[in-house]
């Protein structure tokens, strides 16, 4: 078993799920559905691609200054 990292972003009608370690993105109406779809999509992706051998990513928020419109 391998542990990967998912980010979930609320979108209209559900969630977009992205895997941080590999270029796979899916969606679902709920967090659980989005994660299940991502799990399946990553497993399919890994059938044709090797799992990258780098360390676990660090996910961190950061601030930027946005000019007023």
Q: What is the pLDDT along the chain (69 residues), one digit of tens a residue?
A: 888 999 999 999 999 999 999 999 999 999 999 999 999 999 999 999 888 887 778 888 999 999 998
- Indicate the Cα dihedral angle 56, 57, 61, 64, nearest 10°: 160
The pLDDT value given to residue 8: 97
Q: Has residue 63 been placed in a domain?
A: no
Note whether residue 65 is domain-resident.
no
* CA 40 centroid distance within chain: 12
Residue 47's H or E segment, with its range, is none
Tally the domains of the chain.
Answer: 1
Residue 60 is assigned to a structural domain of this protein: no
Identify whether 42 is part of a domain: yes
Tokens 């542990």 label which residue?
3
For residue 31, what are the domain limits?
Answer: 17-49
Q: Taking a C-beta distance cutoff of 8 angstroms, is the pair 18, 5 a contact?
A: no
Give, in degrees to the nearest 5, the angle at Cα 15 between 10 and 16. Answer: 105
Q: What per-residue confidence (pLDDT) applies to 43?
A: 95
**pLDDT at site 35:** 98
- Residue 4 DSSP SS3: coil
Q: Write down the pTM of the prediction.
A: 0.82
């Amino acid at each position: 078993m391998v542990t990967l990292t998912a980010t979930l972003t609320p979108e209209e009608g559900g969630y977009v799920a992205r895997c941080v370690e590999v270029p796979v993105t899916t969606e679902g109406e709920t967090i659980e559905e989005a994660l299940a779809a991502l799990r399946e999509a990553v497993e399919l992706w890994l059938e044709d691609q090797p799992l990258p051998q780098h360390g676990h990513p660090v996910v961190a928020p950061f601030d930027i200054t946005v000019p007023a419109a």
